[in-house]
Amino acid sequence: MIYVIYGVAGLFITLSIAMFYVFFRSSHFGMLIMGVTYGASGLLAIVVAHWWPLIAGIVLAWMLKFLGLEPGSEPGDEGGGMKDEGQRDK
């Protein structure tokens, strides 16, 4: 069971590194906070060698998602539609 905990904690740390990279590219504050959350829970799971920091990290990231800190589409973007350039507004 300890190897499963270490494996998932390693995935959390890898995810946090990816989120830090995206934060430095896009400067989205939610990516920084979620990266810190995943990284801290992964490191704590390795240090304590228990499963509860992983569950706490998932719950905290889920709460941050509900607070609107996850990157998503912009408020005016309907997603996927072609924009008519050069045409006048009606």
Interval 21-49: pLDDT, tens = 999 998 888 889 999 999 999 999 999 99
- Distance between CA 22 and CA 17 in Å, rounded? 9
Domain limits at 36? 2-66
Q: What is the pLDDT of residues 65-89, one digit of tens each?
A: 888 877 764 555 555 555 556 566 6
- Distance between CA 86 and CA 69 in Å, rounded? 34
Three-state secondary-structure class, residue 60? helix
Total domains present in the chain? 1
Taking residues 48-60, what's their average pLDDT? 93
Q: Establish if 86 belongs to a structural domain.
A: no
The reported pLDDT for the residue numbered 21 is 93
